[in-house]
Structure formats: structure tokens, C-alpha cells
Structure 1
Amino acid sequence: MREQAPRLQAGGVRTPAVTLRIGTRGSALAVAQTSTMARELERITGESTELVRVTTHGDVTRAALSSLGGTGVFASELRDALLAGECDLVVHSLKDLPTAKAPGLTVAAYPVREDQRDALCSLGGASGLTLEQLPHGAKVGTGSPRRVAQLLTLRPDLEIRDIRGNVERRLRFVTDGELDAVVLAAAGLERLGFAEAITERFDLERFPNAPGQGCLAIEVRDGDTPAGVSRLDDPAARAAVLVERGILATLEAGCAAPVGASARYADGKLEAWATVYAVDGSSRVSSRRAVEVSDPRALDAAQAELVTLISTDLFDQGALALMA
């Protein structure tokens, strides 16, 4: 199901020529982040834009996300629309995008990354109870197997509840008293104006993020990159997320696997750390490595080296058995 949303001038008059059609999921978060990219492209190119809303399988299924296998349930229909020429580019949340390249498509830009951390939201927001302060047996909601494993690693007494729905609905589980807290991506909360609901932002050292979390991906047809898109690419974000997703791909783990991976590129050093968890949080294996990058032209080689080093460490420690 695809619905085009025309741009309107003041007074409801349609602009005469929409030149760039941008595909997006129809959720409030997806539209908010896509609208940000649309405004940036308008600023760069001086051209107008139009959002093409696409309903994906992940938007309509009521099944737990962990049961869907993480195989692009939020991306397939968007990619179909792009290949069919119904839009000129699509904007994805990178953490929802499969690591394998889609035939005929390429990611042309990874914009500046926002906060990649997970956030705990308990009653009272900033004045609420942190993860450590939650009472014994507290009920915490999340739809992510990675977050389940990480929470149980730190607090095995918690009662974890599987939840679905948009950000606002998930926050209502707390305000309505059904849950003591929920865990959501900090970037999503900020993009929707719900930063005040955040009680605690988890330290990446203990709570590594889903690979690519906090970053968007702008996908285009091979050989058909619209003007201005390449200027949205941020080299530091690209370097970090390609390492994180490279680790995920090497482990042959899907988007829903209990794998956390964080990376950063700054001051000539590319650094990453990753953890693979047992789904019940009972055990885990971790690796941390860094590679010096004296010449930016050697960045691709440094990324590949770092992915190999960390993946080998994790394999040697039994990562495959944990994921199985």
C-alpha cells in the first residue's frame, strides 16, 4: 500500500513541480526522520520533495519481531517501490536494514549519526528509577532479543515483556502502569520529541548498541543517485556503522540476533567492541579492538581488518554456540 503526500504551499496550493520522491515507512518516527532528510535535500539542491509512504510487512504483522528473523521486514516493500520507480530514493533506519546488498540498489549516504545508545524510560522520565534502582522483579518491556539478553545479564531478576507498537504506545505501557519501564532507542525518542521521557541512557561499554542504531541509510538505484544525496554522507558515521554491520554479517546473524556492536572513528583511530549473548543473558563473549588509520584512503582496509579481528575473537570464544 503506497500513498503519496504532496507538498503544499501556504493556503493549501500544490507546488507546481515535485522533483524528488522520497520513500518512507508511514510510522511517525519514519516520517519524522525522512522529513529531516527531505529538508536537507531541499536546502542543498533548491528542489522540492515529496514523501511516498509505503506500508511494510513489519508495520502490519502482530507477530513478535524476534519471530520474523530480522530479514528486512521493515525494508522489503520500500525497496520494491524504489526498484519499480515509484520513488527516487528511500530512507531507512539502518539497524532495520539487512546487511546484504539488495540487487540493483546501493546505500548512497549514511548521514550524521545521532545518539546510538539505548534508553530506559521509567515513570517520571528524568526523575524516574534507573535500571539499577528498579525493584526486584520489575516488569520491563522491549521487542529486541539483544536488549532482553543485555537486561538479563545485568538484572536477571527482571520480568521481561515482549512489546510492539510505535514509540508513543510503548511509552504508554509505563504511564498506564502496565510496565515499570521500557527500553527504546535514544535517537528515536529524540527525533519524535520524547527526550524528556528518558530516565537513563545506557553506557555503550556495558550495553553495546544494535549495529547501525542511531544512523539512517539513504538507498538509491544502482547508477542513479539523485543530486545532493552524496552530500548527506558523513565519513565518520559511514566508517563506524560499516564495521558494526560487518561484524553482524560475518557472524551471519540477523537484525534480531542478540548481538551488540559499537564503533567509532575519530582522530585517526577506528575502534570497535562487540558482544554476543545467550538469549537468556546467562553467558556472553566479547571482543574489543582498534586500528590506526593514518591515511583516510586506507579506511576501507582498516574497516575490513577490524571486522576480521573482532569476528575471529568472537568465533574463537564460541559465539556461534551462543547464538544457536
Structure 2
Amino acid sequence: MDKIIRIGTRDSELALWQANTVKSQLENLGYKTELVAVKSTGDLILDKPLYELGITGIFTKTLDIAMLNGTVDIAVHSMKDVPTALPKGIVQTAVLPRATSEDILVKKEKIDYSQPCIVATGSLRRKAQWLHRYPHHSVVDLRGNVNTRLQKLTDNNWEGAVFAKAGLKRINVLPENHETLDWMIPAPAQGAMVIVALENDAFNKEATSKLNDSTSEICTTIERLFLKTLEGGCTAPIGALAEIIDDSIQFKGCLFSLDGTQKLEIARSIKVDNYLNTTQENLGISVAKELLENGGKELMLKIKNALK
């Protein structure tokens, strides 16, 4: 194993934590590795919401290019940032054991939710779900890496900001004063890390596939196919969560209007054995089609027109 696996990563603290996690796991298996840090457009442009930049996979595109031109061998991503359609020549090789998928509200002090207040998030999904539950609140845009967003919360007159709990826990910056939003359906694949490699790179595909967690792969595949079928990308308020509980896969998904006034939700349960043995289309696709047939198609059209 003299070959060195060059691991591409963004240079934020969280991205480096994720890449170093993969690095240590590969080295434990006897592989030699090195990190190659690359800045992404999403890290450089902090004054516009993601959906306004009009780029799918804004945090992953730079690493895709680095892999395709031979600068790096593999890349490690927060899976929720990865487009559902990977670039030609790049394939998913492993999903690591998933951390918590929960969203949390980081607060400055106790909040009276019955009163008007200001909450920050850069996510259309979080914004729509928040306004659906609290239509009398205001939601402002929040961009930047985890540390930057926490600092912005401190520096502004907001009551709180919404984060993915997994990211804050991973780099040990989870504030004590936070609240779990158990009513908020997370982004598809939230809390999961994914490794991608070149399709024709047998060595690195085999090496990284040893890190794959089958439970996480099943659940994130269902969620991402739900997202792909709805054609949401990162520009629509779409949530999805699949969990394996005992011998069943429990799925719930949602689609909201941008202002949170409209809500479409769907839930389904299927035995794991039935899911693995079925020749029918994937659960994520079938529930998304059902949602589209029950108002989702019209709502997606409204969202796309509003974001043009």
C-alpha cells in the first residue's frame, strides 16, 4: 500500500474534522493518506443566500474539479451539501455512520415564542418550517461556516439561529443554551458524511468502500431519491428523514412553500427485508411521486418561478 490517497476537503474547521476522520480510519486500515485543502465558492461568497448564487453543489464543485483534473483522489463532504446527481465520472463510495440529523436553535436567552422575534438561517427549508410554525416571527439570512455563524449570532440582535446539531458537536462548539427542534424535518442526508471517488479509480473505490455503513447508506439513499424526484436540489424547502427502527424503515418527508404557509407532508413505513428484496422503485421515489400528485407539482412550479 505505497500509494498515497490524497483526500480533498474544504478548509473550514468542520470540513477538516470530517476529512481527518476519514484520514484516520483509512490509516487504521493500513493506507497512506494526505489532506489537500481547497476553498469553495460557497466559502468565499458570504453576502448572498445560497439559492441566489444559482449553483448546484456550491460547496462540492471545486473539489469535483480537483478530482477530475487529478489534484485529489477522493473527497469528503457533508452529504446534505452534495447534489443528488454527481458529475460524470464521480461516484459515491461510502457513507459513514450517521450522526444525529436534528436541527437545533441556538439561543441567547429564554425565548417567548408567542412574541415577535428574529431568527437566523441560510436554509429555505428551515425558514419555511419556522414561519409555518411561527408566522409572526421574522427570519433573516445567515451564511458562513459554523464558527462564523455563531459569531454573527453573538454580534446581532437576533433571538436565535438554527444549526445542524451534528456539525456543532463534531467540532465541540455546541452551546449549552440550545433547543432541539424535534418538530423540524431535517435536510435529506443531514448528519451524514459521504466519500466520493473517480468511477475508474479501482484502488480508491475499494479502499474507501471499507468505511461504508449500510444502515446510513440505505436511509440517505431513500432521502436523496425523495429530494431528486421532487427536483428540489438546494433551492426548495424540502425535508426528509428515513430511520431504521427495529425491523422497519420509517420515512417522513415534507415540502413547504417559501413563506411557510403551504405544507405538504407524507409518511411511510416498510419492513427492511421487503425494502431490500423488492424489485419495485425505491421508497424515496414512490413517496415523492405521491406527493407530486397531491399538490407537490404545482407547489414546486410556484417555488421555481419565485426563485427565477
Say yes or no: TM over 0.5.
yes
**Aligned residue for 1:119?**
104
- For the 8 Å contact 1:129–1:199, the answer to whether it is kept is no
SS for the counterpart of 2:76 is: strand
SS for the counterpart of 1:151 is: helix
Shift of 1:232: 0.9
Are 2:172 and 1:193 equivalent residues in the alignment? yes
**Aligned residue for 2:269?**
290
SS for the counterpart of 1:264 is: strand
Shift of 1:28: 1.3
Paired letter, 1:26:
D
Moved more, 209-218 or 261-270: 261-270
**Whole-Å Cα distance in 1 between the matches of residues 166 and 228 of structure 2?**
23
**Aligned residue for 1:253?**
232
The verdict on how the C-alpha distance between 1:295 and 1:286 changes in structure 2, with shifts beyond 3 A counting, is closer
**Aligned residue for 1:181?**
160
**Aligned residue for 1:317?**
294
SS for the counterpart of 1:274 is: strand
Paired letter, 1:56:
S
SS for the counterpart of 2:210 is: helix
Shift of 1:192: 1.3
Paired letter, 1:193:
N
Paired letter, 1:163:
L
- For the 8 Å contact 2:43–2:145, the answer to whether it is kept is no
The verdict on how the C-alpha distance between 1:268 and 1:250 changes in structure 2, with shifts beyond 3 A counting, is same
Select the residue among 41, 54, 67 that pairs with 2:38. 54
**Aligned residue for 1:102?**
87
**Whole-Å Cα distance in 2 between the matches of residues 199 and 288 of structure 1?**
28
Shift of 1:48: 3.1
SS for the counterpart of 1:200 is: strand
- For the 8 Å contact 2:113–2:134, the answer to whether it is kept is no
Shift of 1:200: 1.0
**Whole-Å Cα distance in 1 between the matches of residues 217 and 177 of structure 2?**
27
**Aligned residue for 2:110?**
129
Paired letter, 1:264:
E
Unpaired segments ≥5 residues, structure 2: 303-308
**Aligned residue for 2:306?**
none
TM-score, reference length from structure 1: 0.86
Shift of 1:68: 2.5
Select the residue among 192, 195, 208 that pairs with 1:229. 208
- For the 8 Å contact 1:120–1:182, the answer to whether it is kept is yes
- For the 8 Å contact 1:24–1:31, the answer to whether it is kept is yes
Q: What is the correspondence of 1:258-273 to structure 2 with a 5 Å cutoff?
A: 258-273=237-252
Deviations 1:18-70 (Å, cap 9, x if unpaired)?
8121000111111111111111111122x332111111111112321121245
- Cα RMSD after superposing both structures: 1.9
Unpaired segments ≥5 residues, structure 1: 1-16
- For the 8 Å contact 2:240–2:253, the answer to whether it is kept is yes
Are 2:11 and 1:26 equivalent residues in the alignment? yes
Select the residue among 42, 47, 65 that pairs with 2:27. 42
Are 2:220 and 1:241 equivalent residues in the alignment? yes
- For the 8 Å contact 1:122–1:197, the answer to whether it is kept is no
Select the residue among 45, 61, 75 that pairs with 1:76. 61
Shift of 1:223: 3.1
Are 2:191 and 1:207 equivalent residues in the alignment? no
Runs in 1 of length 4+ with deviation above 6 angstroms?
none
**Whole-Å Cα distance in 2 between the matches of residues 91 and 289 of structure 1?**
31
Percent identity over the alignment is: 34
Paired letter, 2:63:
L
**Whole-Å Cα distance in 2 between the matches of residues 189 and 104 of structure 1?**
33
Deviations 1:81-123 (Å, cap 9, x if unpaired)?
1111111110011111110132011000000000111110001
**Aligned residue for 1:163?**
142
- For the 8 Å contact 1:119–1:185, the answer to whether it is kept is yes
SS for the counterpart of 2:98 is: coil
- For the 8 Å contact 1:119–1:200, the answer to whether it is kept is yes
